[in-house]
Amino acid sequence: MADPAARIQVRRARLTDAPALARIHAHTWRVAYDGLLPADYLRDLEPRRLAVDWRRHILRARRSPQGHLEAVLVAFDATQAERPLVGFATTGPARGRRVRGFAGELFMLYVHPAAQGQGGGRVLFDAARDALTDLGFRWWFVSVLEANTAARRFYAARGLQPDGEAWVDHFAGGEAVRVMRYGGPLDPVWPPRGAGPADQSAPGGSA
């Protein structure tokens, strides 16, 4: 049987993708974070306004001095003539002075609910990892809501583990949510063989 993920392919985003990215962004967040983020915040995710933000993001990744370090990746269904977008991922240098230049970060990875279970998340994850590896980063991070157990399982199943960093973010209405950071090596020779958990943290400490 053919790999179901073979139907899902990934490419760099184009400016014309912004409206579709905005629709996927709004819908996936409303579904994924229902009950986890404030309802008012989720209702305010308006695709027309988000599309403006996506255009800026894509332009920055293409034109800014640091743009070559950023990526907006889109997943599409290659079996359909119109090749509709089904998900996206964004990557770039990791936030935090102590890991600057050493670690990359997966900022977002989302697949439209109607396309989930078809391998799109795995394909985007692999493409994001490859994009950061190609830039020479040795480690990578992703931040996950503590209450988002589905996302935590997804990343743990792909080798990323909590690295001990956690904080509180505040959304609309002042509601606080706890965020955890997962991390892992991009360089296959890191961490050294036989290293214990304390030795596997990214050199330079946490962000």
Whether the predicted pLDDT of 189 surpasses 70: no
Judge if the upstream peptide bond of residue 191 is cis by omega within 30 degrees of 0: yes
Under 8 Å between Cβ of 57 and 90: yes
Helix (H) or strand (E) holding 109: strand 103-111
Tokens read off for 204: 């330079």
Q: Determine how β-strand 103-111 pairs with β-strand 139-145.
A: parallel
CATH number at residue 61: 3.40.630.30
Q: Which range of residues forms the domain containing residue 42?
A: 4-138
Q: Is residue 203 part of a domain?
A: no
Mean pLDDT across the stretch 30-56? 95
In a domain, 151, yes or no: no
Q: In the chain, pLDDT over 70 holds for what percent of residues? A: 85
What mean pLDDT comes out for the span 41-63?
94
156 part of a folded domain? no
The residue type at 176: A
- pLDDT for 35 equals 93
- What is the DSSP code string of 88-103? EEEEEEPSSGGGTTTE
**What's the structural domain count of the chain?**
1
Q: What is the pLDDT of residues 63-108, one digit of tens each?
A: 755 557 899 999 999 998 889 999 999 999 998 888 888 899 999 9
Tracing tokens 């992703």 back to the chain, one arrives at 142
Assigned domain for 123 exists: yes
What 3-state class would DSSP assign to 150?
Answer: helix
106 vs 160: CA distance, rounded Å: 11
Structural domain includes residue 12:
yes
The answer as to whether 37 is a domain residue is yes
**Is position 131 within any domain?**
yes
190 found inside a domain = no
Q: Both tokens of residue 142? A: 């992703």
Please tell me the distance from the alpha carbon of residue 22 to that of residue 17, in angstroms, as a whole number.
9
